[in-house]
Every structure is written in structure tokens, then in C-alpha cells.
Structure 1
Amino acid sequence: MASTMKIVFGLLTFVTFGMIIGALFQLAFIRKLEDSYGVPIWNNDKEAELLRLGYVKPEVLSWSPRIILLHNFLSTEECDYLRAIARPRLHTSTVVDAKTGKGIKSNVRTSSGMFLSPEEKKYPMIQAIEKRISVFSQVPIENGELIQVLRYEKDQYYKPHHDYFADTYNLKRGGQRIATMLMYLSDNVEGGETYFPMAGSGECSCGGKTVKGLSVKPIKGDAVLFWSMGLDGQSDPNSMHGGCEVISGEKWSATKWMRQRASG
């Protein structure tokens, strides 16, 4: 009887020890997976590195209008680079006049901004951003307008509006705007959300106020991709959006508008 108990005890000890070792190996494996999450192994794949595959995380916010939030779309270096290029050349932002199609100053938009030049579009870091925008939006690079960089300071905003054109002047080169990539270049901003009043059925925060619709908080490196045209090829009124009032800090963003065809 005593010998039988010793055998049973020995087996239990062996099984228990084996379970402990197995659990430790499993925990180690899980920890390894956690540590590697979001850290891509590109194996010298330059295309994957350029597109930030493994870093960019798409999140569908709305199907009507179509809005996708792309987390980690830009690197910190790319955000700082765009701000550095833009800062010396900022001027008061304008809006498109529906009658003439030209930019005019308006209290609808109180930010300051600038456009990158065709020469700057050839810079390697800008080319990488342009290629990434094209791949994630599935719109050819040549269909895109020049990137615009904007700065919103305290109390500045952009009232809700549509990105598609209401005039014929701007339709002559490249046709209608079909999609917009809005990239955030700064952190530590209170307010300054991108607001879609006709998206969603709930409530959201906009410049410290609770309003109906959907809003996106500006987080450095994130980007919002949304379409001004529906799947039927018609301009989508629900794509109305605005920049909420900045409560504190500076909101920097870069915008890329994409057209139906190449404008060159």
C-alpha cells in the first residue's frame, strides 16, 4: 500500500511539474507574441517599409459616408518634416468661391496654411507619403492635388463644408474631388476634432461641446480617409465635415485631395 502511494505521489508530482513547465513555456510564447505585435519584420522589403505595413491599422468608422481612420499612418519623423517645411511659409487660409472657383478669405476658415511645391513633391520623404496615400486610397498618385499643410491655433476652426466643388472652374483640371486624406501632425491638442455632423447616429465631442454626429480626435501620425463621392459616382452630401475649435495647443494637419483623373 505504501509503495502504491509513493508511485501515485511520484506521478502526481511529475504531472504537476510538467504542467508548470508547460504553462511557463506558454506564457513565454504569449509574451513573445505581445512583444512582436505591431513590429513588422520587413526582411529588407523596401515597398513594405515605405507603406509602413505592420504599423498602419485601418479602422472603419462609417460606411455612409465612407470614413476610415488609419492609425500610425505617418511616422513621427514624417510629421515633424512636414511641419518644418510649412512653418516659414504659412499664410491665412482661404476657401473656394463658388462663383469664380478662386480662393478667398472667409470667417468660415480661420487657420493658416501653405501648399507644397511641385519641386518638394519630388523629395524622397514626400514621395513615400504620396505613394502610401495612393495605395491606401486606391487612387493614382497623378490624380492627387499638392499636399496642403495647415495650422490651427487656439480658438481657430473650419466650419462644416464639403470638399467637392460646386463650381465649374475647378472641375476643368482633374474633375471632381472624390476622396480626402487628412493627416494629423501634432499631439497634445485639446479640441480640434474633425467633425462629421451627418455620420453616425450618436453624439460626439467637438471643441468642448457635445454634438450629434461623429468626430475624430487629432492624434499625431493618424490619418482620416473619407470619400466625397458615393459608390454611385455622385457627390455625397453626407461627407460634410469641419474642423472643431481648438481649445488649447496647436493642431497641425496635412491634407491631400484626390480627383477623378490626372490634372496634369
Structure 2
Amino acid sequence: MMSGTILNTTASPLTSSDVINIANYLELEGQINWYQTFLDLPDVTDKESISYKLAMAYYKAGMSRKALDILTELQKTSTRSMGTIILTIRQKAESPEKNKPQEKPMDPGGYVDNAYRQLCRGHMQKSRYAHVLFCYNKATRIPYYTVKEEVMSHVPRVSRFYDIISDEDISHLQNTVKQNLTRGRVISDGVGLSDDSRTGESAYVKIATNICLKLEKRIELLTGLDATVRKDIKTSEKFQVVNYGIGGHYDCHLDSLYRRNRADITDGNYTIGDRIATWMFYLNDVKAGGATVFPKINLRILPVKGSAVFWYNLLPSGEVDDRSEHAACPVILGTKWVTTKWIRETGQELRKPCKTHPMAEHF
């Protein structure tokens, strides 16, 4: 990216200003790695401003000695006045009490966050369940209608269905919402809020067109769940179309809305039930990035135009399945379009009866 070459596509390399602007959105550790990587590139003309930013990042991170070394060397050739800042950093660097690296507090989400980053980079551990994964033509109750299914994860079950939506239907969904796309929101205590953890644009398909009804019936055929939006009973939510541009992502999250014990829920909206399952269409191929990852089960799914991914958010007992926590990796090159259908518990009582055993699986 820095040199201007991503995969087989060549563009203008990043300028020093570009590098600094991107670094403003990174944590200190990320800033240090980002600046250092840029300085290691050949033919970097403006090393002074980046070196200064690197020194400041080291200083803020509590590594005063490294910051002092960089600024001392930089002062030999720079016209920038750095006497005061160097004196301040030297005093801190030479103070044993203040220069001790601070112990970072334990981060309970650190493992998941690290796994998310590694999966987005394509670093996957070999799965011990790989021998039970397979592809086959899934039969439906319509004898002549079968679909190619690839089992991506056996336990918990995550499947991808290929050639499940046509180019015409994809164009219809995109054109229906393009004028209504707004900043994507995350649900917090039942309220939709804008948050940096989600940077795409989204819109619901408000009009139940024939194409929407056709796609809902197709989902029903393949999952056995009622996915049709009705006025009298809410068995599912309307299709939501999401567009991610360069850098667009959605951090680790659960699609289920209720994490508390079901017996303690007093929210009247729970009469429609939680999101039992998620179905997501991929509307285009992504040149680089944009994978869907499940950190807790070491699963990475690359977007394939015309395919769809399906998984359960709840266990058969009705409790939240924490293994369904997932994320949308940043788009590195190109754009990403998906359409999501969240299926609710209501209306599935006879189609997917609850299992009382807490360790039971859907398949």
C-alpha cells in the first residue's frame, strides 16, 4: 500500500502527509510499526517529518530512550527547533522511576482482537476439524432445485452456498438502496448509534419487491427457517444492504441482540425473539481485504460474488452462541457489497424446536 502497489494493481505511492493522516487512526503500537515500515522503504524523500512523528509515538508509549535517540540524530540535519522537546524527553529518559515501562492491564478481549487481526491478514492455524469439512449439492423439497453448499465449519456449523443470487437480483438490491445509504450503526441497549467500530454505509430494503420475496423463499428452502417479512408477525428483518469502501470494516461483534439470561429479560420487544440466525449474500468480489472472520473458531471467508454465508447466532437451547462472534475485515482495494437477512426466533417454533441440553448443536 505504501509503495502504491497492491496485488497486481499499481497506483501512486503514499506521501508523507498520507502516512501521517492514516497514523492518526492507529493506536500507539500501530503508529510505531506504521511509521517504521514507511521509513524502511527505499526512496523515501521526506524522512524528517516521519522520523519526528515516530519519536513522538515512542515518547507517548513510554519509550523515552528510543524517542531521544531518534531526535538526537534528527537534530544534526534538521532546521526544526527541537531543543526544548529533547531536553524534556532526556529528563524523562534519565529518570529511572519515570522511565520504567508501565505494565499493561489485562485485556480480556485481547485474544479475540489478536485472532481477528491475524485472520484478516490471512494467518490461519490449521484446523483439526478440516477432515470433516466437505462440499455437496444440497437437496431441497423441490426435487429439481439443488444448491452447492460448502461446509466452512462443522462445529459450530457455518456454510457457504454458491451461485445463490443472480447478477440481475444483485443490481436490483443495490439500485434500490443507493439513494438511502447512510452511516452504518451498531445496536447498544436497543439504540442504533454511529461508532468507529463500523465504518460502512447501509440501508434497509423497505419495499417488499418480488425479488425480495423470491430471495426470502430461497433462504427458507435452504435453511428450513421462515425468512419472510410480514406485517402481522416478525419472523425476520428486512434485507439490509451494506457498502464498505476503502478501509471499511466492522469490528468483532455478535448479531444476537440479547446477551442476558432469558429469564431476566423484561424488554417488550423480545416478543419477536432474538436473531436466531444470519444469512449474508456477497454482491461482489473484493480485490483485496473484506473477508468475514470468526476469531473464536479460526475461520476466514473471502467474498465471492453470488455466494451467501449462513450461521446460527443462538444455540439450540436458545442461549447466545459466543462462537458466532465475527467481524468484517477492512477493505484494502476496491469496494465490498453485502446483503444481510437476520432471522428471528418467532415463527420458528415448529421449524426449529429448542433442545434443552446446553451442549446440543444444530447439526
Q: TM-score, normalised by structure 1?
A: 0.69
Q: Which runs of 5+ in 1 are unaligned?
A: 1-37, 39-46, 200-212
Q: Match of 1:224? A: 309
Q: Distance in 2 between matches of 1:227 and 1:186?
A: 23
Q: Distance in 1 between matches of 2:226 and 2:268?
A: 19
Q: Which runs of 5+ in 2 are unaligned?
A: 1-136, 229-234, 260-264, 349-363
Q: How does 1:1-264 map to 2 (within 5 A)?
A: 53-54=145-146, 56-98=147-189, 101-117=190-206, 120-121=207-208, 123-142=209-228, 143-166=235-258, 169=267, 171-199=269-297, 213-262=298-347
Given that 1:189 and 1:218 are in contact with CA atoms closer than 8 Å, whether structure 2 keeps it comes out as: no
Q: Distance in 1 between matches of 2:325 and 2:268?
A: 19
Q: Distance in 1 between matches of 2:291 and 2:241?
A: 16
**Cα distance per residue 1:219-258 (max 9 Å; x no partner):** 1110000100123332100000010000011100000000
Q: Distance in 1 between matches of 2:342 and 2:313?
A: 10
- Give the Å deviation of 1:153: 0.4
Q: Match of 2:72? A: none
Q: TM-score, normalised by structure 2?
A: 0.51
Q: Distance in 2 between matches of 1:130 and 1:85?
A: 16
Q: Match of 2:120? A: none
Aligned residue pairs total 196
Which consecutive segments of 4 or more residues in structure 1 shift more than 6 A? none
Compute the RMSD of aligned alpha carbons.
2.0
Q: Distance in 2 between matches of 1:88 and 1:170?
A: 33
Which structure is higher in strand share? 1
What amino acid does structure 2 have at the position aligned with 1:148? Answer: Q
- Give the Å deviation of 1:63: 2.6
Given that 1:181 and 1:257 are in contact with CA atoms closer than 8 Å, whether structure 2 keeps it comes out as: yes
Looking at both structures, which has the greater relative contact order when contacts are Cα pairs under 8 Å and sequence separation is at least 6?
A: 1
**Could you say what secondary structure the match of 1:141 adopts?**
coil
Q: Distance in 2 between matches of 1:48 and 1:125?
A: 22
